[in-house]
Every structure is written in C-alpha cells, then in structure tokens.
C-alpha cells in the first residue's frame, strides 16, 4: 500500500516509504527521508536533512531539526524537543550538531535532547527528561538532567542483576554490560 498524506499536511519530500501515514497540520521539508510503516501525528515539523527509519512513531507536537537521525522502530513521544546548536544566536551562522536515536529506543513525552547526544538501542527516556549526555543501550534514564536509573529489555521491562555485569529479563533472556550499554547474550 502506498503512503497516506492527510490533505491538510504540507509535505515537500517525495522520499516516503510504503504504509507510512502523515496526518493533519504536519510540515515536512524537502530532502527528508522517511521509511516504511511510519506514523507522523498531527502538528509536527520535520526540517530538511532528517532521516527517519522504518516503523517509527512520531507523536503530536514534535519538531525535528536538521541533523537528527531516527533509526528503525523508534518511538518519539508527544512534545519532544530536539536541538541542533550548542551556541544559538540570532542571525549568526551555527555549527550543526547531530542527534542519533538508535534502533528501538523510546523518547518520553516532553523530553528535551541537547545537540550532539546519542540515545542507544532500546534505551528509554522518562517523561520530561532533559538529556544532556549520551544514553547507553538498554538504559532507562529520567530527570533533569537525565540520569540512568535501571537497565531495560527490548520491551521496556526492567532487568534484574544475575551476576557481575550480567542482567536477566523476566523471560530469562540474559544481557551483558559493556562500555556502551547492554548486549543480548
């Protein structure tokens, strides 16, 4: 099935995957790449140069600026704010900083992400988090500034420590702690 664009959306890109739905009052500039089976809810703005993977959900009221990359299966909650300049000034050139949200990560409603951060695979930020540092894979972070409070599995369930640097899910899946977060064993 081809993609769906609501008649009240302004979409300037043509690089949109099959089964993607773009709803009312969304404005997407040219040179945006959107994968298949995505859902972009009402009142979103997506600037040129953004890359969105497959199976991504972007809830209402999100602005995504140049330099942001969302990998497959990412969830962006309502009102999430991305930034792309560490030293913003009116009418002055800026140094573009990127933000990368890795596969399967979820960004909680109202979170703010500082330019230059990376959120690891399957990580999650709690509602209203201010993310000022990189987030490790499978980490649950929240607060202002966001700090890690737990490890989680691919479904967002907290893990239990099994042994030194090994964590286990309620399903019995095991994960090993590394410098960049958890990896499934």
Residues 89-106: pLDDT tens digits? 999 988 999 999 999 999
Question: Can you give the pLDDT at residue 21?
Answer: 98
Q: What is the C-alpha separation between 117 and 101, in angstroms, rounded?
A: 9
Structural domains of the chain in order of their starting residue, each with its CATH number:
4-152 (2.160.10.10)
Nearest in space to 71 (alpha carbons), one of 53, 58, 57, 56: 53
Question: Can you give the pLDDT at residue 107?
Answer: 98
Q: What is the C-alpha separation between 118 and 59, in angstroms, rounded?
A: 20
Give every residue of the chain whose pLDDT is below 50, as ranges.
none
pTM: 0.96
């Amino acid at each position: 099935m081809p993609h769906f664009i609501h008649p009240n959306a302004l979409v300037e890109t043509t690089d949109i995957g099959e089964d993607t739905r773009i709803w009312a009052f969304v404005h997407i500039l040219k040179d945006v790449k959107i994968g298949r089976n995505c859902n972009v809810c009402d009142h979103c703005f997506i600037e040129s140069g953004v890359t969105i993977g497959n199976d991504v959900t972007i809830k209402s009221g999100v602005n995504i600026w140049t330099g942001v990359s969302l990998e497959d299966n990412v969830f962006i909650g309502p009102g999430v704010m991305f930034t792309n300049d560490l030293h913003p000034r009116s009418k002055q050139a800026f140094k573009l900083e990127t933000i990368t949200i890795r596969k399967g990560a979820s960004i909680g409603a109202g979170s703010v992400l500082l330019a230059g951060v990376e959120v690891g695979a399957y990580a999650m930020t709690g509602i209203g988090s201010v993310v000022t540092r990189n987030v490790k894979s499978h980490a649950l972070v929240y607060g202002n500034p966001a700090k890690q409070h737990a490890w989680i599995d691919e479904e967002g369930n907290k893990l239990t420590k099994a042994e030194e640097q090994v964590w286990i899910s309620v399903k019995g899946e095991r994960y090993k702690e590394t410098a960049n977060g958890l990896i499934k064993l």
